[in-house]
Structure 1
């Protein structure tokens, strides 16, 4: 989608297509309704088995009117759809900057600071002129559309991370890293193991490592690192 910015240049905004978002809500709500109905049937069956566990919760569920459980499931599905939409990446770019929005957090990246925009698996990565990563986001947008928009606005595009071969699997006390980096990576690994890559502390520690000249990315809860120095 293109429009004109206040500075007179063309602006492109990339977001998940409407049909995809609508489909997300429909699937989530239908799935919720189905689970609500299934829960009611399961409870009806459990109360007929005196030896079955969770008799109390099952009796509570059977006391709820039959139409209520699917309705609650639809509502839960709608909430899930809202959360999923909130986590989608929206990309806005023109000749001056690239703006990425995800989970209510906006990153504005100046053209002068951008060396390359690239794909790394399911992630969209913006590389800086000094070799660091300015942004890394899981991206559900079609990468063909992303690449076309990036090139159209005059930014370099790469189909893969040009620094891929420089990444090393992090292990405790990995040699060759600046002082304090292993401690930060150890703390980050703990949060990664316990709470997953979407946790805010994982992102904040990644940003702290970036300030120390270390790029880190995750694969199946394992950290891979490279130095920009």
Structure 2
């Protein structure tokens, strides 16, 4: 499942149209700015202002439309496809693909903007999050898909939500090496470095630590022994 076709068509039409409008408004802004006593980027502005009509208007519309088309392609690349089958669940986004066998899944749920599948020890088998660049289908459609195939779906969300503790630097109780990863991940969160955020989440997972984020603050719990 992906976003509905109506949503995707709206994006495919809307962004090029907005791009064309932005290009036309930019042309009007350049014409207006040409009358200013002081002109920023005087050379390019003069070139655009002196270009013959209707070529300059057509050109601005074309450039704006092409910019909108680029945004549409980028949006398509970030859509997450969730394929739910009787024996496995596959998450695909861009060039990445992750498959989880049904036998390993003990729980699945949507937690805010995150789709999460948990294993028997409470470990995260797979996570897709809009906060890490993903663009998920609706929570309603995801729930319907899991339930239709008989997966253990949790409509109330994370069963471990009361076990999370807020991470602070050099706090005790974490596996060896975890604090260094948390520090690096805190820096990545401040920079909105989505790739590093996801990679460092996976590194914490290898150490038996599950992490969730709230307003760039990190919360954690350890998986069951």
Q: Do Structure 1 and Structure 2 share a fold, with TM-score over 0.5?
A: yes
Give the corresponding residue for 1:169: 166
Change in Cα spacing, 1:215 to 1:46, as seen in structure 2 (3 Å) is: same
2: CA distance, partners of 1:46 / 1:177: 59
Larger mean Cα displacement after TM superposition, 135-144 or 16-25: 135-144
Name structure 1 gaps, 5 residues minimum: 1-13
Q: Quick check: 1:96 aligned with 2:87?
A: yes
1: CA distance, partners of 2:222 / 2:47: 58
Change in Cα spacing, 1:173 to 1:50, as seen in structure 2 (3 Å) is: same
Give the corresponding residue for 2:149: 153
1: CA distance, partners of 2:33 / 2:165: 53
Given that 1:168 and 1:226 are in contact with CA atoms closer than 8 Å, whether structure 2 keeps it comes out as yes
Change in Cα spacing, 1:34 to 1:147, as seen in structure 2 (3 Å) is: same
Q: Quick check: 1:221 aligned with 2:216?
A: yes
Give the corresponding residue for 1:179: 176
Given that 1:47 and 1:59 are in contact with CA atoms closer than 8 Å, whether structure 2 keeps it comes out as yes
TM-score by length of 2: 0.88
Give the corresponding residue for 1:16: 3
RMSD, aligned α-carbons: 1.7
SS at match of 1:71: helix
Q: Quick check: 1:80 aligned with 2:75?
A: no
Give the corresponding residue for 2:24: 37
| Residues 55-134 of structure 1 mapped to structure 2, 5 A cutoff | 55-62=42-49, 65-134=56-125
Given that 1:123 and 1:136 are in contact with CA atoms closer than 8 Å, whether structure 2 keeps it comes out as yes
CA offsets per residue over residues 40-65 of structure 1, 9 Å max, x none?
A: 11111111102243433433443562
Q: CA deviation at 1:102?
A: 1.4
SS at match of 2:99: strand
TM-score by length of 1: 0.87
SS at match of 1:158: coil
Name structure 2 gaps, 5 residues minimum: 130-134
CA offsets per residue over residues 163-215 of structure 1, 9 Å max, x none?
A: 11122222222221112111111111112212x152x2221111111000111
SS at match of 1:225: strand
Aligned residues: 214
Given that 1:46 and 1:55 are in contact with CA atoms closer than 8 Å, whether structure 2 keeps it comes out as no
Q: Which has a greater percent of helix?
A: 2
1: CA distance, partners of 2:47 / 2:218: 46
Q: Which has a greater percent of strand?
A: 1
2: CA distance, partners of 1:221 / 1:70: 39
